[in-house]
């Protein structure tokens, strides 16, 4: 079952069980997916059935990152109630994301990608990152992986 169908099924279940907070988050996910569908309609990457599951994963990852930043800002501002709400939304969104790699798995993936691409200098960083993104999209935080790759290639 595709991600879009999983979200719609969860949305219907949340409606039936009257889970207002969960329903609200699922509607936000649906809206973000539909916005992206509309944005790519009529372009080369657009298709009649909408964006791909990979694109949906990217949307979900962005939504999680936005909420993490908001939660951090709310905590710094002393608004713990709003921070908890953001954390609850993150939990709902993460149900649809694949399991994130832990630190050891991430390091092993980076080492394997460097070996596989035969990267030797910082100039090869783009190839390493492309290999990682194609294989681990949605499963690792590339904002943290970039510096890790850079350290391995420079040091």
pLDDT, tens digit, for every residue of 7-33?
999 999 999 999 999 999 999 999 999
Q: What percent of the chain has pLDDT over 90?
A: 38
Domain with residues 103-154, CATH architecture: Orthogonal Bundle (1.10)
pLDDT digits (tens, 9 = 90+) for 129-154: 988 888 887 788 788 888 888 888 88
Full DSSP string of 4-22:
HHHHHHHHHHHHHTT-HHH
Scanning the chain, the segments in alpha helix (DSSP H) are 3-16, 20-40, 53-76, 80-94, 103-117, 125-136, 142-154
The answer to pTM > 0.95 is no
Give CA–CA dist 129/110, Å, rounded.
9
- Asked if residue 46 has pLDDT above 60, the reply is no
3-94 and 103-154 have identical folds: no
Q: Would you kindly state where each structural domain of the chain is located, as residue ranges?
A: 3-94, 103-154
CATH number for the domain formed by residue range(s) 3-94: 1.10.1510.10
pLDDT digits (tens, 9 = 90+) for 51-98: 888 788 888 888 998 999 999 999 999 999 999 999 999 999 989 888
Which two three-digit tokens encode residue 49? 């059935």
Q: How many CB atoms sit inside 10 A of residue 122's CB?
A: 12
């Amino acid at each position: 079952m595709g991600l879009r169908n999983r979200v719609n099924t969860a949305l219907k279940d949340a409606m039936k069980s009257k889970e207002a907070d969960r329903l609200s988050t699922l509607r936000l996910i649906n809206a973000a997916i539909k916005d992206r569908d509309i944005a790519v309609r009529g372009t080369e990457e657009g298709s009649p059935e909408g964006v791909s599951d990979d694109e949906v994963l990217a949307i979900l990852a962005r939504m999680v990152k936005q909420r993490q930043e908001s939660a951090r800002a709310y905590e710094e501002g002393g608004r713990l109630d709003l921070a908890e709400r953001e954390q609850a939304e993150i939990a709902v969104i993460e149900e649809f994301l694949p399991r994130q790699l832990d630190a050891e798995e991430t390091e092993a993936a980076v080492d394997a990608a460097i070996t596989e691409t035969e990267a030797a200098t910082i100039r090869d960083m783009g190839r390493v990152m492309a290999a990682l993104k194609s294989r681990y999209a949605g499963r690792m935080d590339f904002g943290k992986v970039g510096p890790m790759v850079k350290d391995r290639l420079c040091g």
